[in-house]
Amino acid sequence: MKSMMDMNTFKKLTRAFSLIELVVVITVVAILAAMVVPKFATARSDSEIAATSEDLQAIANALAMYMAKHGSFPRDVNRMRVVNELTPYFKSDNPFAKPTPIGGVYDYEGPPNWNPAQISIRKNGSNIYTATEALRLDEYMDNGDLSTGRIREHGSRLAYYFDGQ
């Protein structure tokens, strides 16, 4: 009878994981997590850069269509203002009505205050883009140098000069 109880106890013990097995499993899961998590962070940043690029190109296309129809660019508006004259030229929502995916807000810089007309991304309170994001956007759309090309940094704003002049 005693040997039968010892056998049942032994069976119960052999069904459990040992401490070493648990440590090995936890270590493997931690290593996999350390490899996968940075990939997701990079993917999100990549999608924000691509979305900002798409918004800037949509604005540039709307401005080019407006220019073709009216012979001039719309007048300058203050930041965080929707350029209502351009709304009919967008396929979807007007990008000026939302914050930029990388942080900040879009600002149309047009005549008579700005020549050439340009689209700025301005920092706005706590909603700001980082220097790294600005450089990555420039590498994605332009030449990777924020002092030359179509995307330039001017103080606390990024300016996008488009080919609609």
How far apart are the C-alpha atoms of 119 and 94, rounded to whole Å? 13
**Predicted pLDDT of residue 35:** 86
User: pLDDT-based confidence at 42, cuts 50/70/90?
Assistant: confident
Averaged over 16-34, what is the pLDDT? 89
> What are the residue ranges spanned by the domains of the chain?
2-160
CA neighbor of 113 nearest in space, from 164, 79, 156? 79
What average pLDDT does range 146-150 have in this prediction?
Answer: 93
Average pLDDT over residues 3-15: 59
What is the predicted pLDDT for the residue at 164? Answer: 54
Record the tokens describing residue 71, joined without a space.
């012979």
pLDDT tens, residue by residue, 50-98: 999 999 999 999 999 999 999 999 999 887 788 889 999 998 888 988 9
User: Model-level pTM greater than 0.85?
Assistant: no
Q: What is the 3-state secondary structure (H, E, C) of the chain?
A: CHHHHHHHHHHHHHHCCCHHHHHHHHHHHHHHHHHHHHHHHHHHHHHHHHHHHHHHHHHHHHHHHHHHHHCCCCCCCCCCCCCHHHHHHCCCCCHHHCECCCCCEEEEECCCCCCCCEEEEECECCECCCHHHHHHHHHHHCCCCCCCCCEEEECCEEEECCCCC
* pLDDT tens, residue by residue, 83-136: 889 999 998 888 988 999 999 999 999 988 888 889 999 988 888 899 999 999
Cis, bond preceding 112 (omega within 30 deg of 0) = yes
From the list 108, 107, 105, the residue with the least C-alpha distance to 75 is 108
